[in-house]
Amino acid sequence: MTEIKKELLYTGKAKDVYKVDGEDDKVIIKFRDDITALDGGRKDTLSKKGAYNALISAKLFEVLEEHGVATQYIKLVEPDQMLSKSLDMIPLEVICRNIATGSLLRKYPFHKNQKLEPPVMQFDYKNDVYHDPMLNDSIITALEIATQEQLDKIREITHVINKVLSKFLIDKGLILVDFKIEFGFDKDGKLVLGDEISPDTTRLWDAETLDNFDKDIFRKGEEGVVDAYHKVVNLVLTDEEKDKWNVEKI
């Protein structure tokens, strides 16, 4: 099993990134139990949340890899720890929406739950000081966050990710309402999907009831967010995967 060298490279709002002994092109990403929302205005620590998010992210990255999408993910080493390729991250939050909800309803005259076909894609600047403002192509290129060619590629890959994950999740009874992803460059300069895809960063609705199985439960100040994430784990993992990671004992 890969040993974590106790050298913390980076700590974010819900994940820590550690160096891997003797392997500079790899990192261990540890998913913590911390949860934040409302631009840091609501915070909590919820037991098991980190492991559930790591298990769900790992599964969705595996599904994407099977469909030819390059990801940072190598393997899970513990239920809450992911061995990953080290990436030079692009400070963009790429948001893709299939249904109008959340900030889209607060900011624009969309109808509640309006279907978005084609999906709406948006780029936010990952920058706490500026509170993650929305960008457009000319601001992104002027700030040298990415080139136009890289942005075009990011859009293309994000459309593929949306198609693959929407299909995978609807087969499990979940609607992929929207999601946020991040990209980076690996040691060879290749554009790769990084970060996580979990109920912290997506909206997942029960296909029958339209109930939330995502961070909106926490944003609304309601109870049951970890139970909802647990349900997503049970829906997306196979029985073998659940046994392997002893999901019921986490």
34 binds ligand CDP (CB under 6 A): no
| Comparison of 28 and 35: residue with beta carbon closer to ligand CDP | 35
Identified binder of ligand CDP from the candidate list 86, 98, 162, 202, rule CB under 6 A: 202
Binding mask 155-194 for ligand CDP (x = CB under 6 A): -----------------------xxx--------------
User: What is the full DSSP assignment across 157-212?
Assistant: HHHHHHHHHHHHHHTTTEEEEEEEEEEEE-TT--EEEES--STTTEEEEETTT--B
User: What is the full DSSP assignment across the chain?
Assistant: -PPEEEEEEEE-SSEEEEEETT-TTEEEEEEPSEEEETTTTEEEE-TTHHHHHHHHHHHHHHHHHHTT--BSEEEEEETTEEEEE--EE-SEEEEEEEE--THHHHHS-PPTT-EEEEEEEEEEE--TTTT--EE-HHHHHHTTSS-HHHHHHHHHHHHHHHHHHHHHHHTTTEEEEEEEEEEEE-TT--EEEES--STTTEEEEETTT--B-STHHHHTT-S-HHHHHHHHHHHHS-HHHHHHTTGGG-
CB of 102 to ligand CDP, least distance (A): 2
| Comparison of 95 and 169: residue with beta carbon closer to ligand CDP | 95
| Comparison of 30 and 180: residue with beta carbon closer to ligand CDP | 180
Binding mask 112-131 for ligand CDP (x = CB under 6 A): --------------------
Range in contact with ligand CDP (rule: CB under 6 A) among 81-89, 102-110, 229-237, 238-246? 102-110
| Comparison of 59 and 215: residue with beta carbon closer to ligand CDP | 215
Identified binder of ligand CDP from the candidate list 16, 80, 93, 182, rule CB under 6 A: 93
With contacts defined by CB under 6 A, how many residues of the chain interact with ligand CDP? 13
78 binds ligand CDP (CB under 6 A): no
CB of 250 to ligand CDP, least distance (A): 23
Range in contact with ligand CDP (rule: CB under 6 A) among 47-55, 97-105, 149-157, 240-248? 97-105
Task: Return the half-sphere exposure (C-beta side, CA atoms, 13 A cut-off) of residue 60.
Answer: 30
Range in contact with ligand CDP (rule: CB under 6 A) among 137-145, 150-158, 186-194, 195-203? 195-203
203 binds ligand CDP (CB under 6 A): yes
Which residues contact ligand CDP (rule: CB under 6 A)? 93, 95, 102-104, 132, 178-180, 201-203, 215
